Structure 1
């Protein structure tokens, strides 16, 4: 928790405000905590909040909690878990900008060379 720096963690003010007007609903496998307001807003539905465990990275919310956060599902995954299909892969957060990001061959971040293909560009040589 910090006084400033919402992009790294939750501020004291945010925790106080959510604690005052929202109810804890549950948490996910990454330790994110989910809340819902006690009273509906003017639009007639309750706002929903997440306090991230660590940096504020929205892709670290699993599909079932994402659906609940965006009012796709009325009940949270703690009450009505999302049915997982046999062909679905495990959810992965977006790794762009991290050390674990995908780096293809030929990238500036890799030392090995990309394999040449038939469609590769061959520069024009005026002396040839």
Structure 2
């Protein structure tokens, strides 16, 4: 949720240029179009910005990304950072999985100083 100051600044100086599929809204300054920002839907988290909108925010793209931006076959769907959530990646041996991992296979020789 944006602060009241951010919302007032956006109301007086911002021009909405788009919205992504997550509900984040993107703005540029009415008199200086190089100033760009995002108002997040929900908790403000930088990893919620999809790559195409990130490229616009930092100025790599001059125009806003098209709504039907084509996806390459090797591209995965954008996911925000899931650290700290139930959906976070937890590898075998993680503390949340009991902290046990598979035994070493014997292909490792520890270094010992001479």
Q: Could you say whether these structures have the same fold, taking a TM-score greater than 0.5 normalized by the shorter chain as the test?
A: yes
- Where on the TM-score scale, by shorter chain, does this alignment land: which range? 0.7 to 0.9
Structure 1 residues 82 and 67, CA, compared in 2 at 3 Å: closer, same or farther? farther
Aligned to 1:63: 51
Structure (1/2) with the larger helix percentage? 2
Structure 2 unaligned residues grouped into runs of 5+: none
Number of corresponding residues: 109
Q: How many angstroms apart in 2 are the aligned matches of 1:92 and 1:71? A: 22
Aligned to 1:28: 20
> Structure 1 segments of 4 or more deviating over 6 A?
none
Give the TM-score of the pair, scaled to structure 2.
Answer: 0.83
Q: How many angstroms apart in 1 are the aligned matches of 2:108 and 2:45? A: 37
The root-mean-square deviation of aligned C-alpha atoms, in Å, is 2.1
